[in-house]
Amino acid sequence: MLKFVYLYWILFNDIAMRYLLILFFLCTGCYFGFAQHTAYTTYSYSEFVAMMQQEQDSVFYLKNALIDYNPETDSERFKDVFGTNTGLISDSRGKIVIDKVVELENVQFLAYPYSNDNGSWINGVLKDIHFKKDVNFTETNSLHISSCIFDGQFMFYEELYNEEDLDVYTTSSMLIQNSTFNQFFLFKNRLKNNRTDMVNLVNNVMDTHREKNNLVIEIYNTGSVIISGNTLKTEGAIQLNFESESVDFLIKGNDFISKSAQLTFEKIDTRVNITENTFSAPVKFYTEKLDSKDQIDWNQFENHLIAAQSYYNFARSIASSNRKNLTERYLDSIRYYNKSIFVNEIGLKGMFYDYYRSRYDIETANEVYMELKDFETKRMQIRYQKDPSFKRFFTWKVNQFLKVFSSYGTEPARAIIVSLYVIMIFAFIYLFFPNTWDVHGKKRIMDRYTFFFTYMNKEAGMHEVYLANKQEFFLEFQDFKLLLEKNGTKVPRFFMVTALPLYNWAISGTKLSARILKKLDFMKGRWQDLPKKKKRWKTWLVILVFIIAIAYDIFIKILNALMLSINTFTTLGFGEIPIKGLPRYLAIVQGFIGWFMLTIFSVSLISQLLN
């Protein structure tokens, strides 16, 4: 038994020792492996440029190097004012020419910003260099370029750089300004574990010419991003992808000229400023949310905004051979027919609508709402065409009417204008039909001719002809006058005192008109008996008076038709419909239209007041 225990103890200790030795060597190897830092070789900016110029091979390759600004050897060429626009950035005169491919891996360009009365400066800038071949940067975390020309492709890719390898202090930033890029442009700053202080792309021209040459900018985990005053032009696609925490994005005053554009933000607690840009193509847009602290101009996206995730999910389901004009097909039909895509697209517009409302920008919110409702109306049309029914037809047409009448309830004033047009149209119809509000009706103008014929062929004055035509009017009050004369002494004086002024008031309008006509009477006899000299000017005068009278009659007739139309439209009610013929039935239709339109106007007005 003791032997067995002894053998077991020896065996156990032998295995334990083996594991202990293995663990010891692993820990030692890891310690020395992780404790070892990258060995950097340091060059001044002048030395670096000289090395590129003197390279005999067609490719200049440099790895693990620090390019440090030396104030004693580096001239003014390697310093610049931050953010200035130097104008002729494509002019190669006075520039250093590098006619070879440049490959740089883990090469850090140390820069030292400072400020004085003349502005913000940076010591340590690659400036005034004309690169005729490809230039590739890999794992570079500090780079400043100004007034350079890149004829070949420009590729910047950073993902694994570890800033703890550097023992020197430098600004961790990217600045590319006033430079021209004539081929493929790729800028990917995709650090996950470290952070770049800032990335600035300012006043550059990126024109790739070719259809397959895309412009790609991806920036992750950066303190601030400024992309401003650039012209990005390509026959291919422009892709801008950003992801970071607690960062400011400023994308302002850029011209994006391409067949396709993409703008995505994977953000947590970020501030986005996208203003004063122009996009020549529809923009595929994605962000998790928009906050009131963001600032985005809606009018930048005049060529449509597309939900990026929906578009790319659909594109992946399409064979590559069938993707020709996919964006146009997506905009024209696919996003309306596919329900899930429609929901995502209208959700994107709804997010912008809520965003502008949160900023109390009601004018822009209404513009977004208009586009959202247009999008919805188009979907209604397609659903009706696919499966016709009265309900779908009615819903579609009501939406179309709401757009014309009140811009989907966002413009109550427009509803008033449309209502006035409706009132005028019906008033024009009523003008040609008799109604009980117009006493003379169609005879009004004929009665006017009769009056002037009688006046010009009688010795009586104009006022006498007028009173003769008003005999029927006076007869209506004659019985009342006779009653007063008969009972003047048979009733209390109170009744006579009050009744006589009432009679005089009733006929006062007619008598006043007669007095005025008597004062204005110029014929003084029959027209045919007038002397030749007087006949000429009195003829013109009587024609003038006739035209004025006709104009007055037409005005009264138009006013009657207009009042009838307003009364009908506003559904005030008038008992028996005071018009005959077809317009009698049109009045009923107008009453319904008025009720419907005034209801919508009320809802639109209340909606705007609540907003």
In a domain, 184, yes or no: yes
The predicted model gives 89-113 an average pLDDT of: 83
CA–CA distance, 271 with 296 (Å, rounded to integer)? 10
In a domain, 293, yes or no: yes
In a domain, 425, yes or no: no
Tens-digit pLDDT profile for residues 73-84: 887 778 877 655
Tens-digit pLDDT profile for residues 596-611: 676 766 766 666 655 5
CA–CA distance, 257 with 254 (Å, rounded to integer)? 10
Same domain, 470 and 344: no
Dihedral sign for Cα 24, 29, 32, 34, please.
negative
Counting runs of H as helices and runs of E as strands, what totals does the chain give? Answer: 15, 30
Which range is least confidently modeled, 274-278, 319-323, 442-446?
Answer: 442-446
Same domain, 49 and 98: yes
Same domain, 355 and 474: no
Nearest to 598 by CA among 422, 452, 434: 422
Contacts of 604 (CB under 8 A, 6+ apart): 406, 409, 410, 411, 412, 415
Contact 161, 194 (CB under 8 A): yes
Name the token pair of 559: 């006013």
Contacts of 383 (CB under 8 A, 6+ apart): 392, 396
Name the token pair of 431: 């003008």
CA–CA distance, 410 with 372 (Å, rounded to integer)? 12
Residue ending a domain, among 331, 357, 390, is 331
**DSSP 8-state assignment for residue 276:** S
- N residues, the chain: 611
In a domain, 11, yes or no: no
Task: Tell me the sheet residues that pair with 108.
Answer: 66
Residue type, position 106, single letter = N
Q: Rounded to the nearest 10 degrees, how much is the dihedral formed by the CA atoms of 41, 43, 47, 51?
A: 30
112-116 and 119-123 strand pairing: antiparallel
Whether residue 291 is predicted with pLDDT greater than 80 in this model: the reply is: yes
| Beta carbons within 10 angstroms of residue 52's beta carbon | 17
Question: Of all residues in the chain, what percent are helix, strand and coil, respectively (each to 5)?
Answer: 50, 25, 30
DSSP string, 374-438: HHHHHHHHHHHHHS--HHHHHHHHHHHHHHHHHTTTT-HHHHHHHHHHHHHHHHHHHTTS-BTTS
Residue ending a domain, among 385, 406, 427, is 406
The predicted model gives 352-375 an average pLDDT of: 92
Nearest to 123 by CA among 209, 190, 61, 44: 44
Q: How far is CA 60 from CA 141, 263, 318, in A?
A: 20, 35, 43
Which range is least confidently modeled, 160-169, 326-335, 517-526?
Answer: 160-169
Contact 222, 199 (CB under 8 A): yes
The predicted model gives 476-488 an average pLDDT of: 76
Determine the angle formed by the axes of helices 308-316 and 339-358, rounding to 10 degrees. Answer: 160
344: left (phi over 0), alpha (psi -120 to 50) or beta: alpha
CA–CA distance, 57 with 102 (Å, rounded to integer)? 11
Name the token pair of 380: 């209604």
CA–CA distance, 347 with 363 (Å, rounded to integer)? 20
Same domain, 95 and 214: yes
Contact 274, 296 (CB under 8 A): yes
* Token pair 């409702």 in the structure block, residue: 373
Same domain, 192 and 75: yes
The predicted model gives 545-550 an average pLDDT of: 85
Same domain, 289 and 368: no
User: What is this structure's pTM?
Assistant: 0.71
CA–CA distance, 402 with 407 (Å, rounded to integer)? 6
> H or E segment at 548?
helix 532-569
> H or E segment at 112?
strand 112-116
Tens-digit pLDDT profile for residues 176-191: 999 999 888 888 876 6
In a domain, 246, yes or no: yes
Query: What are the two backbone dihedrals, phi and then psi, of residue 88, each rounded to the nearest 5 degrees?
Result: -75, 75
Which range is least confidently modeled, 297-311, 371-385, 504-518?
Answer: 504-518
Q: pLDDT averaged over the chain?
A: 80
Whether residue 112 is predicted with pLDDT greater than 50 in this model: the reply is: yes
For residue 538, name the pLDDT band (cuts at 50, 70, 90): confident
Name the token pair of 531: 């002397």
Same domain, 67 and 149: yes
Q: In terms of residue numbers, what domain contains 87? A: 41-331
Tens-digit pLDDT profile for residues 121-163: 788 899 999 999 999 999 888 899 999 999 999 999 887 545 5
Whether residue 29 is predicted with pLDDT greater than 50 in this model: the reply is: no
Contacts of 593 (CB under 8 A, 6+ apart): 422, 569
In a domain, 434, yes or no: no
Task: Tell me the sheet residues that pair with 7.
Answer: none
Same domain, 235 and 162: yes
Contact 229, 202 (CB under 8 A): yes
Burial 109-125 (b: 16+ CB within 10 A, else e): bbbeeeeeeeeeebbbb
* Token pair 């690659």 in the structure block, residue: 126
Radius of gyration of the chain (CA): 45
Dihedral sign for Cα 544, 546, 551, 555, please.
positive
Burial of 510 by CB count in 10 Å (0-12 exposed, 13-18 middle, 19+ buried)? middle
Same domain, 151 and 270: yes
Measured distance between the N- and C-terminal CA atoms of the chain, rounded to whole angstroms: 94
Same domain, 109 and 138: yes
Tens-digit pLDDT profile for residues 390-442: 999 989 998 898 888 888 878 888 888 888 888 888 888 888 777 666 666 56
Whether residue 269 is predicted with pLDDT greater than 80 in this model: the reply is: no
Name the token pair of 269: 């607690």
* Token pair 């709804």 in the structure block, residue: 350
Residue ending a domain, among 331, 359, 388, is 331
Whether residue 4 is predicted with pLDDT greater than 60 in this model: the reply is: no
Tens-digit pLDDT profile for residues 312-357: 988 888 887 787 888 888 988 899 999 999 999 999 999 999 999 9
* Token pair 């850090």 in the structure block, residue: 108
In a domain, 30, yes or no: no
**DSSP 8-state assignment for residue 106:** E
Full strand arrangement of the beta sheet holding 79-81: 79-81, 119-123, 112-116
**DSSP 8-state assignment for residue 165:** G
Report pLDDT for 247.
74
In a domain, 192, yes or no: yes
Same domain, 124 and 209: yes
The predicted model gives 2-6 an average pLDDT of: 39
Total of domains in the chain = 3
Name the token pair of 260: 């396709």
Dihedral sign for Cα 452, 457, 462, 466, please.
negative
Same domain, 482 and 505: yes
The predicted model gives 467-489 an average pLDDT of: 76
